[in-house]
């Protein structure tokens, strides 16, 4: 994968990450690129005895990622709409589509993926919640200070990622 572009898209299979994927497909991905979907699972969701906790999964080809039995061992369930987008782009633009699953903190693991794969660029979705709206979603008594310090995953990756990062914002009416 020396000369090929490796376009990363952070996905959690939400409406927000599907919008980021569609945007990447429409605006960034070109014939011959490698499209690598990065997904991060909670730490407890990896098989015991695997090095996955540290290194993440191996790169998973689209054919395997489309097989529910294969993805079950990674505790990932790609939705049919996402798989349809990926199969279409793989055919139309002759793109190599791969999945990479990490376990742990999404902010750190996405930045790690940028460096370890390495990615040429990364596209990530952002629900576009402002500070006030974001505070409505958390327990103020326990998490206010943490939220104020950490910010969102997309903001963290944008400020700490070592490649160009594009944040695709989801409109208020798309939540």
Residue 162's domain is classified under what CATH number?
A: 3.40.50.620
Poorest-pLDDT segment among 18-27, 113-122, 127-136: 127-136
pLDDT digits 0-9 by tens, 149-167: 334 899 899 999 999 999 9
> Which runs of consecutive H residues, i.e. helices, occur in the chain?
15-27, 52-55, 62-65, 68-72, 80-92, 106-116, 131-136, 140-150, 153-160
Angle at 27 between CA 25 and CA 32, to 5 degrees: 60
Q: Is 94 inside any structural domain?
A: yes
Q: Is 46 inside any structural domain?
A: yes
Band of pLDDT at residue 54, cut at 50, 70 and 90: confident
Q: Is 1 inside any structural domain?
A: no
Structure tokens at 102: 């990490």
Domain that holds residue 156: 6-174
Say what the pTM is: 0.82
Q: How far is CA 141 from CA 147, 149, 170, in A?
A: 11, 15, 28
Q: How far apart are CA 153 and CA 161, in angstroms?
A: 11
Strands 121-126 and 96-103, sheet pairing: unpaired
Structure tokens at 126: 């952002």
Structure tokens at 42: 């909670």
Q: Is 137 inside any structural domain?
A: yes
Q: Is 83 inside any structural domain?
A: yes
What domain count does the chain have? Answer: 1
């Amino acid at each position: 994968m020396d000369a090929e572009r490796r376009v990363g898209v952070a996905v959690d299979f939400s409406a927000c990450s599907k919008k980021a994927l569609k945007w990447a497909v429409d605006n960034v991905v070109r014939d011959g690129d490698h499209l690598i979907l990065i997904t991060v699972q909670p730490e407890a969701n990896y098989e015991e005895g695997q090095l996955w906790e540290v290194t993440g999964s191996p790169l998973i080809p689209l054919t395997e990622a489309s097989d529910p039995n294969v993805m079950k061992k990674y505790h990932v369930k790609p939705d049919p709409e996402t798989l349809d987008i990926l199969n279409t782009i793989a055919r139309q633009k002759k793109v190599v589509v791969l999945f990479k699953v990490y376990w742990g903190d999404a902010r750190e693991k996405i930045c790690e993926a940028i460096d370890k794969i390495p990615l040429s660029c990364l596209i990530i979705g952002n629900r576009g919640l402002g500070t006030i709206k974001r505070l409505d979603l958390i327990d103020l008594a326990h998490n206010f200070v943490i939220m104020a310090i950490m910010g969102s995953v997309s903001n963290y990756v944008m400020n700490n990622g070592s490649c160009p990062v594009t944040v695709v914002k989801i409109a208020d009416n798309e939540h």
